[in-house]
Chains A and B, each alone.
Chain A
Amino acid sequence: MEFVRVENLIFDYMKTDEGGAPVATRAIDGVSFCVEKGSFTAIIGQNGSGKSTLAKNLNGLLVPTEGEITIDGLDTSDPANIWNVRQKVAMVFQNPDNQIVSAIVEDDVAFGPENLGIDPAEIRQRVDAALEGVEMGDYKDKAPHLLSGGQKQRIAIAGAIAMQPECIVFDEPTAMLDPRGRSEVLKIALDLNRRGMTVIFITHFMEEAACADHVIVMDGGKLRMEGTPRDIFAREEELKALNLDVPAAVQLASQLRARGVDLPDSILTAEELVDALTQPVPAEAAEEVSS
Chain B
Amino acid sequence: MIRDITLGQFYPGNSVIHRLDPRIKIIATLLYIVALFVVKDFAGFIAPFVLLEAVIILSKVPRRYIWRGLRPVLIIIAFTLAINLFMVRGEVLWQLGFLHITREGVHTAVFMGIRLVLLIIGSTMLTLTTRPIGLTDGIEALLSPFKKIGLPAHELAMMMTIALRFIPTLLEETDKIIKAQQARGADFESGNLFRRAKALIPILVPLFISAFRIAQDLAMAMEARCYGGNVKRTRMNAMKFARRDLIAAILFCLFLAIVVAQRVLM
A residues in contact (CB < 8 Å) with B: 56, 59, 61, 83, 86-87, 90-91, 93, 95, 97-104, 106-107, 110-120, 123-124, 127, 141-145, 159-160, 163
Select one of A97, A103, A118 contacting B10, CB under 8 A.
A103
Contact A101 B214 (CB under 8 A): no
How many chain B residues touch A (CB < 8 A): the figure is 33
A112 and chain B: residue at smallest CB distance: B225
Q: Is the CB of B226 within 8 A of A163?
A: yes
Instruction: Check if B225 sits within 8 Å of A98, measured CB to CB.
Output: no
Do B169 and A145 touch across chains, with their CB atoms under 8 A apart?
yes
What is B's interface to A at a CB cutoff of 8 Å?
A: 9-10, 12, 131-133, 161-162, 164-165, 168-169, 172, 213-214, 217-218, 220-228, 232-238
CB pair A103–B172 under 8 Å, yes or no, is: no
CA distance A234 to B235 in the complex (A): 51
Please give the distance in Å from A99's CB to the nearest CB on chain B. Answer: 4
A100-B224 Cα distance, complex, nearest whole Å: 12
Closest 7 pairs between A and B when the two form their complex, measured CB to CB? A99-B221, A98-B217, A141-B12, A117-B232, A145-B168, A110-B236, A112-B225
From A97, A102, A145, A159, contact of B161 by CB (8 A)? A102
Contact of A144 among B165, B227, B228 (CB under 8 A): B165
Q: Which of A93, A111, A159 contacts B217 (CB 8 A)?
A: A93
CB closest residue in chain A, given B226: A115
B218 and A98 contacting across the interface, CB-CB below 8 Å: yes
Task: Note all chain B residues with C-beta closer than 8 A to A124.
Answer: 236
Interchain CB contact under 8 A, A87 and B220: no
Contact of B224 with A123 in the complex, beta carbons under 8 Å:
no
24 contacts between A and B (CB under 8 A): A86-B226, A87-B226, A90-B225, A91-B221, A93-B217, A93-B221, A93-B224, A95-B217, A97-B169, A98-B214, A101-B222, A102-B132, A106-B236, A111-B227, A114-B234, A115-B227, A117-B232, A119-B234, A120-B234, A120-B235, A141-B12, A143-B9, A160-B225, A163-B226
